[in-house]
């Protein structure tokens, strides 16, 4: 079955500390992978996406993610977290033929301590 697992429901980090949010996927075909961020009461904003090529992808707001096919993972990282990064983060997987039909993980809530 196709699925996305975000093992960490809630993460708290101190401002300025590094961040890694985990994402594991199960997908039969070549996956297209995405990370979205959602602030309270808002829709989802695309942080970055991986379609092919370099397995380390850069996104907006200083985020990056690394695709590891052998581990079926697509972890999101940021070297130094800012208080404004506090939000809900979603990993998603889709087919190359139609990236409008995404399977989302349950999300990870990021809290940033001053």
Site of interaction with another protein (CB under 8 A): 4, 34, 36, 41-46, 49, 90, 92, 96-107
Distance, CA of 84 to CA of 37 (rounded, Å): 12
CB of 111 to another protein, least distance (A): 15
Closest approach of Cβ 92 to another protein, in Å?
8
Q: Which of 73/109 has CB closer to another protein? A: 109
Nearer to another protein, 100 or 114 (CB): 100
Quote the CA–CA distance of 102 and 32 in Å, as a whole number: 9
Q: Which residues contact 10 (CB under 8 A, 6 or more apart)?
A: 108, 109, 111
Min dist. Cβ of residue 107 to another protein (A): 5
Do residues 105 and 92 touch, judged by C-beta distance below 8 A? yes
Nearer to another protein by Cβ, of 10 and 69: the residue is: 10
Give me the phi and psi of 70, to 5 degrees please.
-65, -25
Token pair recorded at residue 35: 């990370």
Tell me how far, at minimum, the Cβ of 60 lies from another protein, in Å: 12
Kindly state the DSSP code that residue 9 receives in the 8-state scheme: S
Instruction: Tell me whether residue 10 or residue 18 sits nearer to another protein (CB atom).
Output: 10
């Amino acid at each position: 079955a196709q699925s996305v697992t975000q093992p960490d429901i809630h993460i708290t980090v101190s401002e300025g500390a590094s961040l890694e949010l985990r994402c594991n996927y199960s997908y039969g075909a070549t996956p297209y992978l995405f990370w979205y961020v959602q602030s309270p009461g808002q829709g989802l904003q695309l942080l970055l996406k991986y379609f092919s090529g370099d397995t380390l992808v850069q996104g907006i707001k200083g985020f990056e993610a690394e695709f590891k096919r052998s581990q079926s993972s697509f972890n999101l990282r940021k070297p130094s977290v800012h208080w404004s990064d506090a939000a809900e983060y979603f990993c998603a997987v889709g087919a190359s033929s139609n990236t409008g039909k995404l399977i989302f993980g349950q999300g990870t809530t990021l809290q940033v301590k001053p």
